[in-house]
Chains A and B, each alone.
Chain A
Amino acid sequence: KAGVTQTPRYLIKTRGQQVTLSCSPISGHRSVSWYQQTPGQGLQFLFEYFSETQRNKGNFPGRFSGRQFSNSRSEMNVSTLELGDSALYLCASSLSFARLNTEAFFGQGTRLTVV
């Protein structure tokens, strides 16, 4: 079956602009998590959605937001982009939020460059 699909793979934006990234989870998966990966900070948790509801949120400013649709697809939005937002944004999907019996599957990420 198809894996986690993130679009676009690469993106270049200018400071001050906003951007929307998309994640399509594996069919049947209802939980989607977003992470920001940078060389200095590693992977930092942004937020997690399950059944269209945000269940967990990391320590990011309000410029970072997300949502999940009824088909489990998720989008994250970053407004008023800053140079420091340049990163690889990874999406992970799992059957549910219960860690015991589920595994998170990651997409290949969207590489965002802010200039």
Chain B
Amino acid sequence: AQSVTQLDSQVPVFEEAPVELRCNYSSSVSVYLFWYVQYPNQGLQLLLKYLSGSTLVESINGFEAEFNKSQTSFHLRKPSVHISDTAEYFCAVSEGRDDKIIFGKGTRLHILP
């Protein structure tokens, strides 16, 4: 069965600094990978997803993630964070077209002024 590990429960970073949120998954088959963001007191929103094709996927607000099959990773990066990026970020995996989506435990991103 698939699983997702987010190695950092919290990541503090100064505003305008780069950030990387780590995500590793385990699965014996091809996977679809997602990053969701949860702003305070809100539900989850899809940030970006990898289904196939280019291993580098980007979101509209400057985040990107790279699918690395050999390392079974899907780390999320942003070259320069803003205070508005303060949120909890969830990595998720699905093994098939109609399989359930399994989430990691989340990484809370703290932006320091």
Binding site for B on A (CB under 8 A): 4, 33, 35, 41-45, 48, 55-56, 58, 90, 92, 97-100, 103-104, 106-109
Contacts and interface: CB of A to CB of B under 8 A. Distances in A.
B32 A99 contact: yes
B46 A104 contact: yes
A42 B94 CA distance: 16
Interface of B: 32, 36, 41-46, 49, 51, 90, 94, 96-106
A106 B101 contact: no
A99 B42 contact: no
A92 B100 contact: no
A109 B100 CA distance: 19
A55 B98 contact: yes
Given A92-B44, A108-B41, A42 B103 contact: yes
B105 A41 contact: yes
A98 B99 contact: no
Nearest to B98: A97
Contact of B101 (A33, A42, A100, A108): A33
